[in-house]
Structure formats: C-alpha cells, structure tokens
Structure 1
Amino acid sequence: MSHFVRTLVAMACVALLAPALAAQDLPFDKPISQFVRRIHQDHTGAMWLGTNGDGVIRRKGDTIDYFSVKQGFGGVAVRGIKEDKAGNIWFGTEGGLTKYDGARFTNYTYEQGLIDNDVWALAIDRDGIIWIGTYGGVSTFDGKSFTHFELPKGEPDPTRGVTSAEIVHSIMQDSKGRMWFGTNGGAYIWDGKTLTNLSEDDGLCNNAVNCILEANDGDIWFATHHNGICFWDGNTFTRVTEADGVRGTEAWDLFQDSKGAIWFPIEGAGICRYDGKTFSAYAKPQGMQSMAIQCTFEDADGRIWCGGYMGLFRLDGESFVSVNAQGPWDPRDN
C-alpha cells in the first residue's frame, strides 16, 4: 500500500470515528480523546497527549489546545513523542515526523528523505540523533538530513493488520549506548559495529515486539503482541505468566517509574504493576474503565497516567480515575 493511500485510509477512518475538535468545543462529559496513545510532559510542565485521531493535545496551565492537520501538525495518529536537549518536541505520526520548536510545527516526510511517512517509533540517542521507526524501516535524522539504517526484514503479521515485513514498533537506547529495535522478526541490537538478533529461537517469548525497556537493574524487558511479557538478564529469558498473576498475551508498552516499579498494559486485562517482588493488576474493580491501554507515564509530581481507548486515566491512591477536559487533573480536584 502506498504512502498516499495509507494516509488517506487513516484520515478517512478518523473522520468517521474521531473528528478533531477545538478545545472550546469539547463536550466536558466525554473523554478528552477517544484514544490516547502517547503521553509526554515537556520542560515547561505542559502535558502533551498523542491521540489516535485528534492529532496532539496540549494542556498548559488550565488551557487545552488541539493541534491537527488544520493547525499545521503533521498527522492525526501520534505514535511517538520525544523531547531533545534544546527543548524541541518531536512527534511521529502516520504523516511523517513533526518538530515543535515552541512556536511552530515543521513537518518532515519522505520528500525530505524519511524512509516512510508512517512512523511507529521514536528515540533520541545520547548524541542527539533522532531514530525513526516506520512502516518501511528505520531512518536517522541529525537535524539536517536523513539516513537509512538497514534492518533485516521480519514476517508480515496479517493477524494484527500489519502487512509490512519492515515495520519497526519500538526503538530504545540502553545504558551501554546500544540501540534496540522491536520488529516482527524479534529484537535487534546495534552496538555501533554489529547487529545482533534475539528471537524465539533464543528464548524470546514472541517475535512480534511492541516495546523494549531497560530496567534499572539492567534487565531488558519485552512487550510482545502474541505472548505477553518477558525479560532478559543477558543470558536467560524469563516469561511473565498467569502464575505470576498476569493474564493475557497482547502487551503494548513498558514503563518504569521513579520508585522502580514496572508498568505494562495487557489487552483485555487492564494494566499491571511489578514492584520487584509482586505483580498487581488494575482493571475495572480498580477504576480502570478501559481494557485497551496503550501507554503509561509518570509526571514531574510523581503522578501515574495511562492512555488508551476511552481516553486518559490517572492513578489516585490505589485506583484510577478517568480524566476529561475538565479534569480531575490533580487529586485535589476530585
């Protein structure tokens, strides 16, 4: 499917399911967006919500702004948000790579050298190079030009609607400076000289890797699409199973908070938390109204947020509350 056709399909679906709204037009009794995919807090304290149809939402103070294609933003489905050392915010969307410098948006597409417009993953390495995982492979961007980074092709996964053998779902740089890539062919590690593959043949729980996280203890965790969560200590893989209190197999994200707890959402099961000893689940009895969570985030005040289908959620004590445009943004607002 061509860049143009895929973009048209995405925008047509959005037009039917989740039309973009100006902030002042948002019904307060409805979710801030039907689907929140990414959450970021910038250096000024503003919260950015990447959605799956409304572009990006910014909450700065008590003001909420929606930015989509009409406002010059590069797309409507946001799959990555990263901030560089200069304070620029970068977004990966179905329409390419977008930079926000605090005043305006600048969009980069395959016309400027990006390997594919359909962006699924973003990372910024310690040298400030931006790594972009797309439907058609990986590009790097040094602020001036794009370079293609070659990865072996994986296997298309039509069961999840992905027909590309080159899609990259996740990019991460570890504490040793190595770059990790989550693909449909397992995980790849680039140490600057050699590319190494970790797959089911090596003990990886599933080759369809949605997210990769390096934990504080150095273990590498993997969220996979068809066989849940596993982690690797450099020698051995360990899978998290139902015996640990975790059910479900479709895992989308991994996040470690400031207290060292690891959070991950499982499709149909809510979100799980691992404190180093015990796994705890947050589902409907704990206030989690959505069983299709995509991301977890901790803000500068230590509050835990989740985004997914049905919008935005915040942990309040031992349960989650749903947050719309009116709030409650802070526990004091409850």
Structure 2
Amino acid sequence: MPEKKYRNLIVNAGHLLAGILIIVVVVLILQAALGYVQVKSTPPGWEIIRPPAEVSTLLIDNDTLWTGGKDGIILISRTNNSRLPLPDGAPPTSYVRQIFRDHTGSIWIGHDGGLVKFTHASWEIIAPGPGIPFTKVLSLAERKDGTMVVGTETDVFVNNGSGWVSLRPGGMPAIASADVLLAPRSGDLWVGCGAVMHGALYRLNGTSWHQYTVSDGLPHPAVRALTEVRDGSIWAATGYSRNGGAARYSDGVWMNLTRADGLAGESTRSVFEDTHGRIWFGSEYDGIAVHDTGTWKILTEKEGLAGYEVKTMTEDPDGVYWLGTNGGLTRISSDVVMG
C-alpha cells in the first residue's frame, strides 16, 4: 500500500511538472507571436527591429547604428536593418548605459562592468584596471577642452591627462548617482541624478557648483536625461512612475512642461532636438510627444513604437529617426513624423 501511494505521488508530480512546462511553452509562443504581429503590423515608414530587445543608448557611426542596453552592444546596419558583427576583439560588456563618441572619433562604452574604448578598430579596456577609481559607469561626456568625464554611482571623474580624478575635492556636492552628464557649448558641466528620493540637477560653472531641485523649478527630483538645443537652452527630462515633466533652463529661468501642455505622459524619460528644430519628449509609459512650433503629435505602440518607454533617440544623416525603447528599436522615416 505505501508503495502504491508513493507511485501515485510520483505520477502526480510528473503531471504537475508537465503542466507547468506546457504553460511555459504556450506563454513563450504567445510572446513570440505577439512580437511578430507587432513587427508585421507597423504602418508604412515604421519598422521595429529586434534584437535588441531593449535599448538604453544609441550612436550613429557612418552606416552603423550602435545600440546599448541590457543585451550589451548590438550593431545594426542603417541600410538594411540587419544585425552586424562586433569588430574583432570586442570585450564582453554587461548592461550598457551609454555609448559616446569623442572629438577624435573614438567610441566610449560605459557599462555596469566598466569602461571600454574603441579606436581605429582597436579595443581598450579602461575599467576595471589598476589605479582606476571606478568600475560601474552610468554616464559619459566630453568637456569643451576635450577632457572626458565619467559619471558613476557616487561620483564624477575627469581625466586630467595623467589619470582619473574625482570632482568632489573641487566642491562638488554629494550625489546619490551621476546618471546623466551634459557638457554644453558654454563650457559648463551638468550632472543629473535619477534617484527618486534623492535626485537633483547640478551645474558646474567655472569652479562654482549650483544645485537645482523641485523648489528651484524642476518638475520632479529624478533627472533622467539632459540635452542642449540649438538656442543654447538646456532641457531636462524628469520624473518617475506617473509624476514629472520636462524642464527648460535658459538665462537662469526654468520653464516646465507637463501632460497638460502636450507631453505624452507626466514622467519624462528622454528629450531630443532633431535637425528641423522639433523637440521630442519620450515618456516612461506613454510613448513620445513631438513638438513643432505649437503643434504636438503623440506616437505610441499603436502607431508603431517597439515599446511604451522611449529611453533614447537619434537622427541619422538621411533624416531617419531611431528610437530606443524598453521593447526594442524603432526606425521612423522622416516624412511620416508630422504628417
């Protein structure tokens, strides 16, 4: 009798395991099918490209689009959207936070496991390394004098020619994380912290640091992206969950935009100016809003976005827009944006 009971338990456990496996397989098939349908149902002028499955940073390099995110580095051909092999000798990378090109043409890759530099078909691992005071890299920038700047979880480092030194001894306020860096034409250095509870925006002007919070005009303390537009003003994307907005800084004055003004969602994830002067505001949950001389256009997954969260944007020399989202890469022809 005990043996029969034992056999029944084994049989039941086997049935349960088989049922779980069937459910997992069905879910995977449905996910693949839904992704296929979404890719195939995009309207003319729109294309969804996967992999990459998620995109946090983009860089155009001639006919190659460098993408970075949770999948590491993935290269895409601008001409046919196919995936390209990485240059020989590419080191492994984890979550890629930013891909940046300096004035010499070298490409820098900041990721959770360090910092890599690609120059003239040659790779160099900068961090981790002997004497390097950081490992995880969140953001990158190049100052007006050509010095590289690295943002980490607790500090900002500059390369002074002989090594990487912290900006803290120069009076930099304590920061929760340097998630975003911007070095505009003015020569200032902006540092954005995306921490929800301890976020803020910092500006280094000469040797003086200035801190901006909600009380100074930011819609939300968490700063997610920064960009300089052609008139020299600075736009900050701020927010978390269903709160936030975009903020414009010019001549010491802040001006805010929210969903009531035309944004796709309150929490603003990215901001970008195209060659036509249109400002693109990516949201955390609601797609993207494109502003053109008083006119707004909202683009979502229904129109053809690969995902609901637009993390990064760029425009190639042919006027094609590339949008990195939580669900992959979107390519949009220029003639369909405000049509």
Interval containing the TM-score (normalised by the shorter chain): 0.7 to 0.9
Q: Percentage identity across aligned positions?
A: 26
Query: Of residues 166, 183, 186 in structure 2, which corresponds to 1:173?
Result: 183
What SS does the aligned partner of 1:81 have? strand
Give TM-score, length-normalised by structure 2: 0.75
What is the CA–CA distance in structure 2 between the aligned matches of 1:235 and 1:87, rounded to whole Å?
Answer: 33
Larger Rg: 2
What is the CA–CA distance in structure 2 between the aligned matches of 1:319 and 1:275, rounded to whole Å?
Answer: 10
Residue 278 of structure 1 corresponds to 295
The residue type equivalent to 2:157 in the other structure is S
Of 174-183 and 273-282, the range deviating more from structure 2: 273-282
Residue 279 of structure 1 and its aligned partner are, at CA, apart by 2.5
Residue 263 of structure 1 and its aligned partner are, at CA, apart by 1.1
The residue type equivalent to 1:152 in the other structure is P
- Please give the residue correspondences for 1:299-314 in structure 2 after superposition, counting only pairs within 5 Å: 299-314=316-331
Of 254-263 and 133-142, the range deviating more from structure 2: 133-142
What SS does the aligned partner of 1:243 have? helix
Query: Of residues 234, 242, 261 in structure 2, which corresponds to 1:244?
Result: 261
Query: Of residues 60, 71, 74 in structure 2, which corresponds to 1:41?
Result: 60
Residue 116 of structure 1 and its aligned partner are, at CA, apart by 2.5
Name the CA shift for 1:73/1:136 in 2 (closer, same or farther; >3 Å).
farther
What is the CA–CA distance in structure 2 between the aligned matches of 1:291 and 1:61, rounded to whole Å?
Answer: 25
Residue 144 of structure 1 and its aligned partner are, at CA, apart by 4.8
Task: State the Cα deviation string for residues 57-107 of structure 1 (Å, max 9, x = none).
Answer: 253766733449x95425122111111222211111111111001322111
Structure 1 position 77 matched with structure 2 position 98: no
Residue 264 of structure 1 corresponds to 281
Residue 139 of structure 2 corresponds to 121
Structure 1 position 298 matched with structure 2 position 315: yes
What is the CA–CA distance in structure 1 between the aligned matches of 2:78 and 2:124, rounded to whole Å?
Answer: 21
Residue 10 of structure 1 corresponds to none
Task: State the Cα deviation string for residues 167-210 of structure 1 (Å, max 9, x = none).
Answer: 11111112211111101441111122111111112111112111
What is the CA–CA distance in structure 2 between the aligned matches of 1:104 and 1:53, rounded to whole Å?
Answer: 22
- Please give the residue correspondences for 1:101-180 in structure 2 after superposition, counting only pairs within 5 Å: 101-142=119-160, 144-150=162-168, 151-154=172-175, 165=176, 167-180=177-190
Residue 249 of structure 1 and its aligned partner are, at CA, apart by 2.8
Of 305-314 and 144-153, the range deviating more from structure 2: 144-153
Question: Comparing both chains, which one has the higher relative contact order based on Cα–Cα distances under 8 Å and sequence gaps of 6 or more?
Answer: 2
What is the CA–CA distance in structure 1 between the aligned matches of 2:71 and 2:160, rounded to whole Å?
Answer: 29
Query: Of residues 42, 50, 54 in structure 2, which corresponds to 1:31?
Result: 50
Residue 217 of structure 1 and its aligned partner are, at CA, apart by 2.2
Name the CA shift for 1:289/1:91 in 2 (closer, same or farther; >3 Å).
closer
What is the CA–CA distance in structure 1 between the aligned matches of 2:201 and 2:141, rounded to whole Å?
Answer: 15
| Contact 2:113-2:128 within 8 A present in 1 as well | no
Residue 238 of structure 1 and its aligned partner are, at CA, apart by 2.1
What is the CA–CA distance in structure 2 between the aligned matches of 1:128 and 1:200, rounded to whole Å?
Answer: 32
What is the CA–CA distance in structure 1 between the aligned matches of 2:246 and 2:222, rounded to whole Å?
Answer: 11
What is the CA–CA distance in structure 2 between the aligned matches of 1:259 and 1:60, rounded to whole Å?
Answer: 21
Tell me how large the CA RMSD over aligned residues is: 2.6
- Structure 1 stretches of 5 or more lacking a match? 1-27, 155-164, 321-334
The residue type equivalent to 1:103 in the other structure is A
